[in-house]
Structure 1
C-alpha cells in the first residue's frame, strides 16, 4: 500500500508542475506604451493633454494605467475650462490613441475679490483687482486663478503688507449648471513703514549712503524704493559690492528696518579692454580709477584709448556736493588724435572743461559747463585751426525698467552751447541738439525701439565752425549700413564737409526666441545737411542680441539701401538700447 501511495503522490506532483509550466508559457508578454497620440483640433488643449500624459510613455499597459490616464486627461481639460467632453481610447501593441470631443468651455460668471484690513482702500491694490487675469466672461483657466492670487500677494509684499492672510480662497465649479466663479477674501494686515537705516560695516561713504536714500523713517514701505536705492549706490564710484535689503524678521511696531551692506573699492583700480570696430580698427582701453582721494569723497578717473585710427587720453576730477551722483562739480581734460576716422580727415584736439551738475525738481539732470577747445584739422593738405571758449547747458532725463536688460525706457536729451568771436573764440556759433529714445515691450517677447536725433547750428559760415562741431551722420549709433560720419555735405571733389543741420531716426523690432537670444530687424534714415536739399540716406538690416547679466551684446548686419555701393557693414555694440 505504501509504495502505491508514494507513486500516486509523485504522479500528482508531476501533473501540477506540468500544468504550471503550461500556464506560464501561455501567458502573453506584458505590453509597454511606446507612444501616445491625441486626436484633437484645438492645439492649445492638445498640447496641455500631451503634457499631462508624457509620464506614461514606457509604462506597462494595464487597465489600472489606462484608468489613471483617463483621470489625468480630465484634469488637463478641466485646467483649461473644459468640463463637458467625451474621451475614447483606441490601442494596439505599440501606441495609445486618445480621441477627445469637446463641448463649449466654462466661463467665469462671478468674480468676487474683497479686501479687509488697513489696505482695503489702497489705490494700487484696488487698481490691481480691476486688472487681474480672472474676469467675468473670460474662459475658465485654472492658471489665471493662481496668477490672480500670486499677483495680489506680490503687490502686497511690494507695498509692505507683510502680515497678509487669506480668509477665503475658492475656485467654485458647478458642472451641472455650467457655473464657474471665484471668491477671494484677503486680510491685508497693516502696512509697514520704513524703520531705521543700518550700515553693516564701516565705510568712508556713510554720509553719502544716507544722503542717497530715497526714503525716510516713518515713510510707507515700497520695495521699488529699495531697488532705486541699490541702483543709486551702484552709480557712485565708491563701492565694488552693494546689497540693500529689508530685515523682515526684525519688523516690529509697524516698522521694518533696512540694512545696507557695502564693500569699498580699492584705493586704485585698473581695467584693461580690447576690441575691434569697422570705424577705428583694433582698439585697446586702459582705465584707472581712484575712488577716494579726500575725506569729502573726491574721486579721479583716467582713460587711455588706443586704436589704429584714434588715440585719446582723458582725465576727470569729481567733487561731490551732497549727492555724489547728481549734485557735483567736475573738472575734465583730454587730448585726442584722429587719423581718417571720418573719411579723409586728420584732427588733433585738446580741451579742458568745468562742469556743474545737479538734479532739477522734476528729476532732469542739468549740467552747466564751460570748455576751452583747441582743434587742428587737416584735409587733403588743407589745415584749419580753431580756438573756442564754449559755455553751455544740457538737460538729460533717462528712465528704464529691467536693469541691464531693460524692457521699457525713455531717454530725452536737450543741449545748447555757443561761442562768440569777441570772447576768445575763432567764430560765432550757437548749437542746439535734441535726442529722444523710446523702448517698449509687448507680451515679453516683442521689443520695440525708436530714436530721433535732431540738431542745428546757427552760423553765418559753416566752414569756420570747428570740424568736430559740424553735423555728420552714419555709423552704429546713427544710420547703420554707412561708415562712421560718412553722410553729410561734400565739396566738388567729394570731400566730406559736415553740415548745419542733422535729422536721423531709427525703428527697430526685437523678437526673443530663446531666454538668451533675440533676433532684430531695423531701419535707419536721416541726413546731415546745410539746406535739406540733400537726399535722405536709408540703411536697414538684421541682427542678433545675446543677453548677458551686464547687458545685451548687439550684432548687426546692415545695408546702405540708398548708397551706390551695395557693400554691407557689420557692427558689434555692448550695452542696452537706452
Structure 2
C-alpha cells in the first residue's frame, strides 16, 4: 500500500490558551485542544483584517498539531470574532477516526540484546491497534538511547527507525531496530590532591576496576563521598571519550572541608523545657581520616557532656569504630540519676541498607527512684539495627523507619546484675493526593532480669510526652512505689495514629490518637489520649504544637506539647 513519511512533531503542552485564540473541538478532546494551543503559541493582531491574514497559517499549524496525535483527517475551519481592535481567532475543529498502529517492531541487537534493562515493558501506546501518537514514538526511541547511555553502550545506534503512515488506510507502522555495540567498563579511579592518604580514598570506591559501566554507580560514588563528612565538594566523572580498549578512567575532583566546626543551638520542648547545646567537631585530624568531637547539652532536668574519637574502617564513609565517654545527670519528676560511661561502638551500613551498631560500654550510675536509691556498675554489650527509607530527609512525604536495640549484662562479669533489654520501634508515613498525610508509630520494649529492683533508672521504661502518649506529661506514665512515686516499668508500649491535612503550603493541621503505658506486666491497664495540632515546615525542619487530652483519665486536663524535628 502507498505510504508517506510521517510528520515528526514535539508535543509541548500548556495550561491555558492565549486570550486571542479560541479552539473548539468536536467531539470534545482536551488533549487535541491543548496541543493546538501549545503549537500555535501567542497570537496577537491589531485588527480583524490582520487576524484573518494569520488564519491560514494558523489552520496549517493546527492540522500539524492534530497529526502529531494521530488525527490526519481532521477538519479545521478558522473564523475571526470580536471587535476590530481586539480580534479573536476561533478555530473550529472536527475530529475524525484517528490513524492506528498496525505493525510494531522494536528489536535490540548486539552485545546488550539479552540484558534485562533493554527488555523494555511494552507501552499500551505502542501496541497494535493503539492510536498513533508521535510523542510516544519519540519517547520509545529516547528510552532505548537513554538506557544505552546509562549502562555504557556508548557506540549504540539505530539501524532502522521509521514511522510510516498510510493516511488513506488510517494505519501506521513503527519499526525500531537498535544495535547496542559493546559495553564499556569502568577503569582505575584517580583523585585530585587532598590531605588524605591514597589508601583511604581508594577504600571509598564502591566498585572494582573492570566493572561494567553504570551511571547509577557513578552517582552513588558521588553521594558516598559527600556523605563521608570529609569534603565540601565532590565531582566524579567517567568521560567515555577517554576510554582505552573499552575501559573508562574515573576522575574524582575533591575539595576537603575545613578541619574544625563549632556549633551552638537551642530549643524548647514541653518534655525538657528550654535547652542549650554546643558541639565541636574535628572532621579530620590526620591523613588517615580519623576524627573527634565533643558536645554538651544543658536543660533544667538534664545536663550532659560527651566526647568521642572515630577511626574509619572499610568503606570509610559507612563503617567506623567510635570510642566515647560521657557524663549525664538527670532529675525528672521522681527520678534522679547521675551516670558515667566509657565504651566503643562498631557501626557499619550493611549491603541490605540496614545500619548495624555493635557496642560495649562500661557504665556506672547512681540513682534514686522514689524512696529507693542505689548504685550500679554494668558492662553492657549491645547490638542495634536501624533503617530509614524516605523521599526527603527534612520533610518526607512517604517512607518508614525501623529500629531494634538489644543490650544486656551478666552478673559477675564486672556487672552487679543480670539483665536483657530489648527495644523495638517503627514509624511509617504516607501522603495521599499531596495534602493528606497519615503517620503511624509504635514502640515496644521489655526488660528480663531476676533483679529488676536493681536495674538503674536510665534503663527502665517510662511513657508520656510529645513522643509518646501526648495526653500526659513527659515520663509521668510509670508504675509507682508504695508512696506513689514513679519508678519506671519493666515493659513499654507506645503507639500513635495521626492524620495531617495541608491547608496551605508548609502548614498542616493534625489530629491524633495515642495509646500505651510503661508497665510491670502486660495485663496492666494502658492509657489512651487524643488531640489536635498544627505543623509548620520551617527551613530547619517541621515544628509541631499539639493540644492533647487523656481519654482514660479525663481529670488529667489538657496538655500542650511543643517539639521539632523530622517525622521519620
TM bin (shorter chain): 0.7 to 0.9
Per the alignment, residue 213 of structure 1 pairs with 205
Q: Would you say 1:233 and 2:233 are equivalent positions?
A: no
Per the alignment, residue 416 of structure 1 pairs with 406
Match of 1:278 among 270, 278, 283: 270
Distance between the aligned counterparts of 2:331 and 2:243, measured in 1?
A: 62
Per the alignment, residue 548 of structure 2 pairs with 560
Per the alignment, residue 261 of structure 1 pairs with 253
Per the alignment, residue 25 of structure 1 pairs with none
Distance between the aligned counterparts of 2:424 and 2:228, measured in 1?
A: 27
* Residue 441 to residue 115, structure 1, CA distance change in 2 (3 Å): farther
Q: How does 1:327-346 map to 2 (within 5 A)?
A: 327-340=319-332, 345-346=335-336
* Residue 288 to residue 161, structure 1, CA distance change in 2 (3 Å): same
* Residue 504 to residue 156, structure 1, CA distance change in 2 (3 Å): farther
Bigger mean CA deviation after superposition, 229-238 or 218-227: 229-238
3-state SS of the aligned residue for 1:367? strand
Q: Would you say 1:121 and 2:110 are equivalent positions?
A: no
Match of 2:373 among 384, 389, 395: 384
- The structure in which a higher percent of residues are helix is 1
How much does 1:346 deviate?
4.7
Q: How does 1:43-122 map to 2 (within 5 A)?
A: 43=30, 45-52=32-39, 55-57=42-44, 60-61=47-48, 62-83=51-72, 85=74, 87=76, 89=79, 91-93=81-83, 94=86, 95-103=88-96, 108-122=101-115
Per the alignment, residue 535 of structure 1 pairs with 526
Contact in 2 for aligned 1:115/1:185 (Cα 8 Å): yes
Contact in 1 for aligned 2:374/2:454 (Cα 8 Å): no
Contact in 1 for aligned 2:194/2:256 (Cα 8 Å): no
How much does 1:131 deviate?
6.1
Q: Would you say 1:472 and 2:459 are equivalent positions?
A: no
Per the alignment, residue 144 of structure 2 pairs with 152
How much does 1:350 deviate?
2.7
Per the alignment, residue 433 of structure 1 pairs with 423
How much does 1:359 deviate?
5.8
Contact in 1 for aligned 2:157/2:180 (Cα 8 Å): yes
Distance between the aligned counterparts of 1:561 and 1:140, measured in 2?
A: 61
How much does 1:114 deviate?
1.5
Distance between the aligned counterparts of 2:103 and 2:530, measured in 1?
A: 54
Per the alignment, residue 344 of structure 2 pairs with 354
Unaligned segments of structure 1, at least 5 residues:
1-32
Q: Write the deviation string for residues 143-192 of structure 1: whole angstroms up to 9, x where unpaired.
A: 43343333333322221122322333344444443334533222222211
Match of 1:458 among 448, 465, 469: 448
Unaligned segments of structure 2, at least 5 residues:
1-17
Q: Report the TM-score when normalising by structure 2.
A: 0.78
Distance between the aligned counterparts of 1:520 and 1:148, measured in 2?
A: 43
Counting matched residue pairs gives: 536
Per the alignment, residue 12 of structure 1 pairs with none
Q: Write the deviation string for residues 78-102 of structure 1: whole angstroms up to 9, x where unpaired.
A: 4455555554546222444555454
Which of 1 and 2 has higher RCO (CA within 8 Å, sep 6+)?
A: 2
* Residue 562 to residue 480, structure 1, CA distance change in 2 (3 Å): closer
Per the alignment, residue 174 of structure 2 pairs with 182
* Residue 316 to residue 56, structure 1, CA distance change in 2 (3 Å): same
Contact in 2 for aligned 1:372/1:387 (Cα 8 Å): no
Q: Report the TM-score when normalising by structure 1.
A: 0.77
Distance between the aligned counterparts of 1:57 and 1:494, measured in 2?
A: 83
Contact in 2 for aligned 1:408/1:441 (Cα 8 Å): yes
Per the alignment, residue 11 of structure 1 pairs with none
Per the alignment, residue 163 of structure 1 pairs with 155
Distance between the aligned counterparts of 1:244 and 1:311, measured in 2?
A: 44
Distance between the aligned counterparts of 2:484 and 2:81, measured in 1?
A: 78
Distance between the aligned counterparts of 1:224 and 1:125, measured in 2?
A: 16
3-state SS of the aligned residue for 1:161? coil
3-state SS of the aligned residue for 1:150? helix
How much does 1:196 deviate?
1.1
3-state SS of the aligned residue for 1:335? strand
Bigger mean CA deviation after superposition, 243-252 or 433-442: 433-442
Distance between the aligned counterparts of 2:130 and 2:491, measured in 1?
A: 54
Larger Rg: 1
Distance between the aligned counterparts of 1:138 and 1:443, measured in 2?
A: 30
